[in-house]
């Protein structure tokens, strides 16, 4: 409390070094550096610093100035310079297994679902479900590969040296090197046209020095005015924002914190959402009762009122407003439909992620793209309560709208939302504020 973590741990480390081998002395130096860096965010709980130390990754101390390691082992570490000698890594991974494993809890599939991997040539010969699972597996592999590439590009403090492969007999277009070249040196993407040894892109200071002196740390004044950053958002810059957590603008009655959540209502809402997700368009017909029971069994649904839930679902589909929102004729110029669409986009200084029930993309006669977010609300409420619930859900829906606009860089007036209250058959339209 009096000295701060840096000075206190420095004093203790100095005493311990007298009885430690060289390896442990180097480790103590790393601990001191971490303690010094912790000064600006130190709390009054020592357990917080202990947790930081346990979670922090630091390279093993060594007298060698060059280390060779995999990217997986480099996570959380930094080096003065990083050399990437092999960039012909496929974005979709490989070699591929002949089988694909679905997500742990995909809609409509039991946990641990396994199916065949479908090649592009045979895609038209298999069912839509097998194609969808292969596409989902490929997307996951690409995302994992891009995450690993991100690790590779963010390890250096001073310099990064990347070596794409030279001219080869066959070029691969789905590799890291192609992605980097398209971004940094688009005129050098043809490996056969490049000289065997050439520099196609360079930026920054090529005369950096690993031994440059470290700038002195600035000491904060002991006293002075405290100024807080003004912000129109309640969230910290760069934090993740989950739209569903914005319901009611994060205001919760204290008394509600001590009320048991109605698990039956939650299970019913989950079931109804899964059933709505099973509908592409009502023009193609409604799912059969057998299909609905099958979906319920795969969730699994533990309620003993399944037949009653099916009746409620059928009643919702009979309501004109609900039928209209699920009909193709409502969307002239229909481009595509995405169901249970996950997303993660940067909006301003926030990273917004979530999942949209239905996302409809359309084009007008001039080819201008527009989007409608459809969100099902299964609250068992009377019609008179709808306006109040709209205001409760408005922050969540507005977050969806901003995210969808950012996805395709659309102006706000080309993105709208339909809030569907299934119990009363009401559809409320929302737009981005100001549009």
Higher model confidence: residue 351 or residue 334? 334
Tokens 């890291």 correspond to 176
Residue 400 makes CB contacts below 8 A (sequence gap 6+) with: 243, 354, 356, 373, 375, 417
How far apart are the C-alpha atoms of 172 and 177, rounded to whole Å? 9
pLDDT at 5 over 70: yes
Instruction: For 266-319, give the DSSP string.
Output: HHHHHHHHHHHHT-S-GGG-PPPHHHHHHHHHHTT---S-HHHHHHHHHHHHHS
Model pLDDT, residue 303: 67
Please tell me the least confidently modeled range out of 255-264, 366-375, 397-406.
Answer: 255-264
Which pLDDT tens digit goes with each residue over 8-43? Answer: 999 999 999 888 887 788 888 889 888 888 877 888
Please tell me the least confidently modeled range out of 60-69, 271-280, 425-434.
Answer: 60-69
Domains of the chain with CATH codes: 5-55 (no CATH), 71-193 (no CATH), 241-431 (3.90.320.10)
Q: Could you tell me the end-to-end alpha-carbon distance of the chain, in angstroms, rounded to an integer?
A: 53
Instruction: Kindly list the distances between the CA atom of residue 285 and the CA atoms of 241, 340, 426, in Å, as whole numbers in the listed order.
Output: 37, 20, 21
Residue 116 half-sphere exposure toward CB, CA atoms < 13 A = 9
Whether the CA torsion 297, 302, 307, 312 is positive or negative: it is negative
pLDDT at 225 over 50: yes
Please tell me the least confidently modeled range out of 85-94, 243-252, 318-327.
Answer: 243-252
3-state DSSP helix/strand/coil % of the chain, to nearest 5: 45, 15, 40
């Amino acid at each position: 409390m009096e000295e701060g973590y840096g000075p206190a741990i420095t004093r203790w480390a100095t005493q311990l070094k007298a009885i430690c081998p060289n390896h442990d002395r180097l480790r103590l130096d790393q601990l001191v550096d971490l303690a010094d860096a912790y000064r600006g965010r130190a709390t009054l709980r020592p357990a917080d610093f202990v947790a930081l130390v346990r979670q922090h990754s630091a390279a093993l101390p060594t007298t060698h100035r060059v280390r060779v390691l995999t990217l997986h082992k480099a996570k959380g570490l930094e080096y003065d310079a990083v050399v990437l000698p092999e960039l012909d890594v496929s974005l979709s991974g490989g070699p591929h297994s002949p089988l694909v494993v679905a997500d742990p809890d995909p809609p409509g599939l039991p946990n641990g679902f396994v199916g065949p991997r479908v090649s592009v040539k045979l895609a038209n010969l298999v069912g839509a479900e097998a194609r969808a699972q292969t596409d989902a597996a490929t997307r996951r592999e690409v995302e994992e590969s891009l995450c690993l590439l991100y690790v590779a590009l963010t390890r250096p403090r001073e310099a990064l040296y990347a070596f794409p492969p030279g001219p080869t007999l066959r070029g691969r277009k789905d590799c890291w090197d192609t992605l980097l070249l398209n971004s940094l040196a688009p005129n050098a993407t043809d490996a056969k046209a490049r000289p065997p040894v050439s520099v196609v892109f360079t930026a920054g200071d090529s005369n950096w020095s690993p031994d440059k002196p470290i700038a002195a740390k600035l000491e904060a004044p002991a006293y002075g005015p405290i100024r807080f950053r003004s912000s129109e958002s309640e969230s910290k810059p760069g934090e993740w924002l989950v739209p569903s957590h914005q319901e009611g603008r994060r205001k919760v009655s204290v008394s509600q914190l001590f009320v048991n959540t109605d698990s039956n209502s939650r299970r019913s809402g989950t079931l109804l959402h899964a059933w709505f997700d099973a509908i592409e368009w009502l023009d193609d017909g409604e799912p059969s009762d057998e299909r609905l029971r099958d979906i319920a069994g795969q969730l699994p649904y533990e309620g003993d009122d399944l037949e009653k839930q099916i009746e409620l679902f059928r009643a919702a589909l009979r309501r004109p407003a609900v039928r209209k929102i699920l009909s193709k004729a409502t969307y002239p110029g229909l481009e595509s439909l995405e169901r249970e669409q996950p997303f993660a986009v940067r909006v301003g200084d926030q990273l917004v992620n979530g999942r949209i029930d239905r996302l409809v993309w359309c084009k007008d006669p001039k080819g201008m793209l527009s989007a409608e977010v459809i969100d099902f609300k299964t609250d068992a409420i009377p019609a008179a309560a709808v306006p109040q619930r709209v205001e409760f859900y408005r922050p969540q829906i507005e977050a969806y709208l901003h995210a969808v606009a950012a996805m395709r860089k659309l102006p706000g007036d080309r993105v709208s939302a339909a809030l569907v209250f299934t119990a009363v058959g009401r559809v409320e339209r929302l737009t981005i504020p100001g549009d």
